[in-house]
Structure 1
């Protein structure tokens, strides 16, 4: 049951005080309207029954009550969050006006039987008294006045009215307490519901691991800033090398590292910035204000520099990098989706060409981004199983004068986009996370073709950096090999320096498992990076493919000739096979022949061809008649019918191979 102490607690608690005012507002409104109608009627009866001074006094008080009730009711209706003291004052004024009407009438026309009105008033006041003190004051005033009027009556009648007063007191306060108990319960339930709802909203908007805003909250903040037309920068930060740490040291260490990264970024104290986590190792920062591009880039690089410092954990000294892409509202987009899309595009550019830096979206790249978005949409929604097909480029052995293997190259013919260039859809697949799905389709189709070829023919597949950072995916490729029944020694996986540089430890571990199963490992585009020789020592390799940039200049450049020669000798000492890539002309081959090359891959010995053309080539080289003549016929004939390769033929010669990856 409610008590004065409970009421006092509600009084001093701001939330409960406001909730109490909200709960009582309908009661007060509901009381004022019938009261206004009743006293309007009473005013009319006074004009009928009274005259002279009595009429003036009684009609004035009753009419004042009508007007006051109307004004107070309008005030209550207009107040969305009427304070409890003000509502209490309205209740007291309403009670006082009732009291004055009764007192004034009984003073002019004293009638013993109408003293019961004071008892009725006490009951009414018990429900309209907003607070306990208001109820105590109103009920006490009415009962004391009853006693004062009844004191003039005989003792026997006075005793009856005293009894009535005592009974009324208990009834009034009993009703008041019951009403308050019900209201307090309602208030507690409502406050609890509001508290739980607020907690649920906080949980829904908070990343459970790091405690910063999650993806939902970040996009709500972006939408809010857009609605307010406030300029701001959106920066997407992606960690470099985090997945390798997570896979090698476990998720516990990875989670601690993410928390440490967030703590370090938060300590930068950039005014107004909002940091949020939108993915596993992807974060968003919102920088408010119309900052110049240089200032925004400086802030982005400041965050990257802070994130990239070592993290000492027990015996570990972990290091991760970060890259970032930025877009600006309103100059670069008017919706959260557009802003995020452009910042994400800039992030991909940064990771591809400016790793470890902050890159701003370039408005001149709009067309390129729209094209990339269309490609990503078709990668997600298209029927890749039927649209992706393979071409095969021979690897020729001058010593054996025969093709000993092929490289599988992916092509994509989409109903909406037409023939999509390999460099475009592979970049889009890597950016959108569809590269493993693409690799799985290519690998399965390649195995189906390889199963039809002779046992002495091998087939190589390219793996991306994302493929090499996913242990489960690599294991699934091994499972496909076992299921196919094909000897693993006929299968070769090609990797590039850039594919392994950010996750070297994990990549080396997975490549070791592939090699232990019998598969071959080739380092592609050797010489195109800055530290390729380091990978000869650190990776489990069987083959090195020398980049075309050196091979194509052998006939004109003494330096290129010496580089090619030294690499070939180094491979021989390390018992690695060496493939010279991009041999396209007889002059190039004539210059290379003096060096006794191991394997050749280039347009001179075969452009990418269909599986049927590849099978013809394999069969023709076993013909006892001249090998070179049928080889030339098949190579040229297959190219005339292989028009889909026009997509790569339009590329610069120096980039044809890399663009054809997969």
Structure 2
């Protein structure tokens, strides 16, 4: 912008205006200090040299100048937020006091040689004027007054003073322009640097895709709130089904979906709530203030409901879900790292229980998390190769009246933790990323044991959600089968509904690879989820295992018996084998026999047993079959 518009720019730009005021304030304060000292001395000389009315006028105007300069310097200019307009008025007032001192003295004691004071005054005004407008006014007043007093002198002397005035005008205004240009350049450079630094800070604190605070900014705010001892909640949200959409429709659609999630969350207009993005499809929010657990649950439900509505994308409507975990400061944790760990654990519980849920971290979760942390530590440090082992539970065929296979059940005995419950260490392994290592170790052991069994005995082996989401890991499993020399038809992989919920398309693709190799696929815990029949249609299945929650009720619930009968009938129509899990008593078996299930698994036909007991059981079964055949032939 041209220099002649500099004042206009400062007037319309509040930031630059304040920067100019900050830069000029030390100059004005520096000018007032010698002014106070000078006029204090002049006041004393007036008491020495003047009497009567002259003394009263000159001494009072000098003393007023000293007091005014002191008040301006020590009080008015001590403020950090002084505006440019106010600073300009203070500068004009300081100049006016100098002007009045000179005018009063020359009016009482006119001395030709002291007219030079007006020229000196103009030079001083050029350096202390805050704006060019104020400088022009002050310098002009001084030089016009010089001409007024010089006009009573002879013409040749007046001409000299006019020349002095003209030279002083150019010198003063030139000095003023150069000084202000230098100051403004410095200010503009600093403002540009500050602007770039602020922009860099915004970029460092903002998620580039969605525009919300990023992980760094969110955790800085968490640390700030903790330092201020202010109570707050944090919530961690994870999108369910986003990865599948992102893989199928591409990153452009995926990015639009993430922006839509942020927009819907922002449109809730919830006071005291800050949303941020941690990364990928994971978001975080900070809820400042005191809120009840019930209020937080309602808040979480609002977010889940808003985010879970369909998103129109061209002619399609895409739907994702969201799960949430919340924790509270200071009742549950006292550091940002602990809060995040607790919120993440609550989120994991929400996703493990059922997608689209909101879980609040409490003392029960804290005990479970501490146990999980201890398990995760041992998973990292333990010799899993020697500590992990398998037990096998028989699968009995009522039609053949013999055991036709076994399900491999993972067990872990750790020197520090002792015997760890399977559901605990499997969940911990999934959460910590050790599950594939666990699966690989157990699968190799299962293959070595299976190699010793008769060819007509099959093995069922469980895969987790992490296992069937990794293409390279599935290929490694197939490689292990080929290396073992065991027929893939003897191996059955069991999956659960929750294992395929995150990315159904990718899971189906990998399961098809397993099935194409000759392995069989079984859907475990059928009926425990909320969309089971969809998986019967979309997944490449060979077998369905009805959840034990139905089996336990068949003895006293007609409804449960009808449900089990309906599922068995459906499996027959779909050419799927059906396994009844959890059959523990003969009473239950009596009710189930008439339904003609394909396989029975439960304590009635055998508890989980070690590998050597399996061989013993198989040998006893073969011996019994041989004796039966001999009896028939006899």
TM bin (shorter chain): 0.7 to 0.9
Q: How does 1:425-464 map to 2 (within 5 A)?
A: 425-430=425-430, 433-434=431-432, 437-450=433-446, 452-453=448-449, 455=451, 460-464=460-464
Is 1:27 the equivalent of 2:23? no
Q: Which residue of 2 aligns with 1:372?
A: 369
Is 1:182 the equivalent of 2:178? no
Which range is displaced more, 169-178 or 2-11? 2-11
Is contact 1:414-1:420 (8 Å) kept? no
Cα drift, residue 70 of structure 1: 1.3
SS at match of 2:506: helix
Q: What is the rounded CA distance, in whole Å, between the counterparts of 2:554 and 2:383 in structure 1?
A: 42
Shift in CA distance, 368/271, structure 1 to aligned 2, threshold 3 Å: closer
Is 1:36 the equivalent of 2:36? yes
Shift in CA distance, 153/281, structure 1 to aligned 2, threshold 3 Å: same
Q: What is the rounded CA distance, in whole Å, between the counterparts of 1:558 and 1:277 in structure 2?
A: 50
Shift in CA distance, 38/462, structure 1 to aligned 2, threshold 3 Å: farther
CA RMSD of aligned residues (A): 4.2
Q: Which residue of 2 aligns with 1:413?
A: 414
Cα drift, residue 201 of structure 1: 3.7
Cα drift, residue 240 of structure 1: 2.6
The alignment of Structure 1 onto Structure 2 pairs a total of residues equal to 612
Q: What is the rounded CA distance, in whole Å, between the counterparts of 1:454 and 1:145 in structure 2?
A: 114
Is contact 2:215-2:279 (8 Å) kept? yes
Shift in CA distance, 139/511, structure 1 to aligned 2, threshold 3 Å: same
Is contact 2:520-2:541 (8 Å) kept? yes
Q: Which residue of 1 aligns with 2:389?
A: 391
Shift in CA distance, 192/486, structure 1 to aligned 2, threshold 3 Å: farther
Is 1:607 the equivalent of 2:608? yes
Cα drift, residue 356 of structure 1: 3.3
Q: Which residue of 1 aligns with 2:506?
A: 506
Which range is displaced more, 62-71 or 499-508? 499-508
Is contact 2:390-2:446 (8 Å) kept? no
Q: Which residue of 1 aligns with 2:157?
A: 157
Q: What is the rounded CA distance, in whole Å, between the counterparts of 2:64 and 2:553 in structure 1?
A: 107
Cα drift, residue 128 of structure 1: 0.2
SS at match of 1:78: coil
Q: Which residue of 2 aligns with 1:264?
A: 264
Shift in CA distance, 390/8, structure 1 to aligned 2, threshold 3 Å: same
Which ranges in structure 2 are unaligned for 5 or more consecutive residues? 625-634
Which range is displaced more, 493-502 or 297-306? 297-306
Is contact 2:580-2:597 (8 Å) kept? no
Q: Which residue of 1 aligns with 2:191?
A: 191
State the Cα deviation string for residues 575-622 of structure 1 (Å, max 9, x = none): 65555544667998999999796575659645354xxxx3x4577679
Q: Which residue of 1 aligns with 2:627?
A: none
Cα drift, residue 93 of structure 1: 1.8
Cα drift, residue 287 of structure 1: 5.6
Shift in CA distance, 459/341, structure 1 to aligned 2, threshold 3 Å: same
Is contact 1:4-1:132 (8 Å) kept? no
Is contact 2:586-2:604 (8 Å) kept? no
Which range is displaced more, 382-391 or 331-340? 331-340
Which range is displaced more, 192-201 or 117-126? 192-201
Cα drift, residue 141 of structure 1: 1.8
Q: Which residue of 1 aligns with 2:117?
A: 117
Q: Which residue of 1 aligns with 2:473?
A: 476
Cα drift, residue 157 of structure 1: 3.1
Q: What is the rounded CA distance, in whole Å, between the counterparts of 1:395 and 1:110 in structure 2?
A: 122
Is contact 2:265-2:306 (8 Å) kept? yes
Q: What is the rounded CA distance, in whole Å, between the counterparts of 2:421 and 2:524 in structure 1?
A: 20
Shift in CA distance, 600/297, structure 1 to aligned 2, threshold 3 Å: closer
Q: Which residue of 2 aligns with 1:142?
A: 142
Cα drift, residue 477 of structure 1: 3.4
Q: What is the rounded CA distance, in whole Å, between the counterparts of 1:426 and 1:617 in structure 2?
A: 25
Cα drift, residue 132 of structure 1: 0.9
- What is the TM-score when the length of structure 2 is the normalising length? 0.81
State the Cα deviation string for residues 23-62 of structure 1 (Å, max 9, x = none): 1011111111222223333334444555555544443333
- What is the TM-score when the length of structure 1 is the normalising length? 0.78
Q: What is the rounded CA distance, in whole Å, between the counterparts of 1:44 and 1:543 in structure 2?
A: 112
Shift in CA distance, 509/205, structure 1 to aligned 2, threshold 3 Å: same
State the Cα deviation string for residues 602-647 of structure 1 (Å, max 9, x = none): 59645354xxxx3x4577679799869xxxxxxxxxxxxxxxxxxx
Shift in CA distance, 47/73, structure 1 to aligned 2, threshold 3 Å: same
Q: What is the rounded CA distance, in whole Å, between the counterparts of 1:328 and 1:117 in structure 2?
A: 73
Cα drift, residue 329 of structure 1: 6.5
State the Cα deviation string for residues 487-520 of structure 1 (Å, max 9, x = none): 5826543211232245433322221133234443
Which ranges in structure 1 are unaligned for 5 or more consecutive residues? 629-662
Cα drift, residue 178 of structure 1: 0.9
Shift in CA distance, 143/326, structure 1 to aligned 2, threshold 3 Å: same
Q: What is the rounded CA distance, in whole Å, between the counterparts of 2:122 and 2:480 in structure 1?
A: 91
SS at match of 1:21: helix
Cα drift, residue 193 of structure 1: 2.9
Q: What is the rounded CA distance, in whole Å, between the counterparts of 2:533 and 2:381 in structure 1?
A: 37
Q: What is the rounded CA distance, in whole Å, between the counterparts of 1:598 and 1:370 in structure 2?
A: 39
Which range is displaced more, 254-263 or 281-290? 281-290
SS at match of 1:495: strand
Is contact 1:545-1:581 (8 Å) kept? yes
Is contact 2:308-2:322 (8 Å) kept? yes
Is contact 1:402-1:621 (8 Å) kept? no
Is contact 1:372-1:428 (8 Å) kept? no
Is contact 2:300-2:324 (8 Å) kept? yes
Q: What is the rounded CA distance, in whole Å, between the counterparts of 2:108 and 2:161 in structure 1?
A: 21
Q: Which residue of 1 aligns with 2:88?
A: 88
Q: Which residue of 2 aligns with 1:656?
A: none
Is contact 1:391-1:608 (8 Å) kept? no
Q: What is the rounded CA distance, in whole Å, between the counterparts of 1:414 and 1:98 in structure 2?
A: 92
Q: What is the rounded CA distance, in whole Å, between the counterparts of 2:425 and 2:232 in structure 1?
A: 32
Is contact 1:122-1:143 (8 Å) kept? yes
Shift in CA distance, 608/184, structure 1 to aligned 2, threshold 3 Å: farther
Cα drift, residue 176 of structure 1: 0.7
Q: What is the rounded CA distance, in whole Å, between the counterparts of 1:253 and 1:58 in structure 2?
A: 82
SS at match of 1:383: helix
Is contact 1:526-1:547 (8 Å) kept? yes
Q: What is the rounded CA distance, in whole Å, between the counterparts of 1:428 and 1:109 in structure 2?
A: 98
Is 1:312 the equivalent of 2:312? yes
Q: How does 1:564-583 map to 2 (within 5 A)?
A: 576=576, 581-582=581-582
Shift in CA distance, 412/210, structure 1 to aligned 2, threshold 3 Å: farther
